[in-house]
């Protein structure tokens, strides 16, 4: 009798796992976690993050960035652009950049990878309070480097290039906009 009860419970459990979940009509699933448009918090959000502390007196930035491996991030981004796994775009025009274009950026007299101090993200944010999931999907990012000498347009950072993934269109709609301490 006990074996029969166990088999019935096991069968019910297996069958319950095979039931097709009905998705509401008109609901678009936006992530592999099953989040959909009802969970959308930010369709597109653009923000910048310091990746080095340029102020030696800022102990809060030291603490926030203590686990950040900026040289590794920068090297891997450039390696992936050079080997074609990551696409680079001109920040201002959204035009695709060639390897030669990237080499030209790197050959500028005011440019060095070690000057890269900021990353700007373009993301979609989803949140499910029921599942306690906060999902951020990165569409593109920009590595920015410190200006030397005269600061153009009042900025203290210049975008190196924008980068995104295949089938992801860069959507920043303000040509020439870069929020580096405007």
The yes-or-no verdict on residue 61 having pLDDT over 90 is: yes
In contact, 161 and 100? CB cutoff 8 Å: no
Distances (CA, A) of 134 to 10, 17, 18, 26, 104: 34, 25, 27, 22, 39
pLDDT tens string 118-148: 998 989 999 999 888 899 988 888 888 776 5
Percent of the chain with pLDDT over 70: 63
Q: Which residue has the tokens 């089938």?
A: 167
Most confident of 108-112, 122-126, 155-159, 164-168: 122-126
Quick one: tokens of 95?
Answer: 């035009």
How confident is the model at residue 95, as a pLDDT? 86
CA 101 to chain centre: 23
Q: Residue 120 forms beta bridges with which residues? A: 48, 142
Whether the full predicted model's pTM is greater than 0.85, yes or no, is: no
Task: Let me know how long the chain is.
Answer: 182
Distances (CA, A) of 32 to 28, 29, 42, 137, 138: 12, 8, 17, 11, 14
């Amino acid at each position: 009798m006990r074996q029969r009860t166990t088999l019935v419970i096991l069968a019910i459990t297996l069958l319950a796992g095979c039931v097709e979940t009905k998705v509401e009509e008109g609901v678009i699933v936006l992530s592999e976690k099953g989040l959909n448009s009802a969970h959308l918090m930010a369709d597109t959000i653009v923000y910048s993050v310091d990746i080095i502390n340029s102020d030696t007196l800022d102990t809060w930035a030291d603490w926030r960035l203590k686990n950040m491996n900026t040289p590794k991030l920068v090297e891997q981004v450039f390696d992936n652009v050079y080997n074609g796994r990551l696409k680079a775009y001109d920040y201002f025009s959204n035009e695709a950049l060639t390897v030669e274009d990237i080499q030209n950026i790197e050959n500028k007299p005011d440019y060095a990878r070690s000057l890269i101090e900021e990353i700007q993200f373009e993301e979609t944010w989803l949140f499910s309070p029921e599942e306690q999931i906060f999902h951020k999907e990165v569409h593109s990012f920009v590595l920015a480097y410190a200006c030397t000498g005269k600061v153009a347009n009042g900025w203290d950072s210049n975008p190196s290039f924008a980068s995104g993934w295949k089938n992801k269109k860069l959507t920043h709609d303000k040509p020439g906009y870069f929020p580096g301490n405007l």
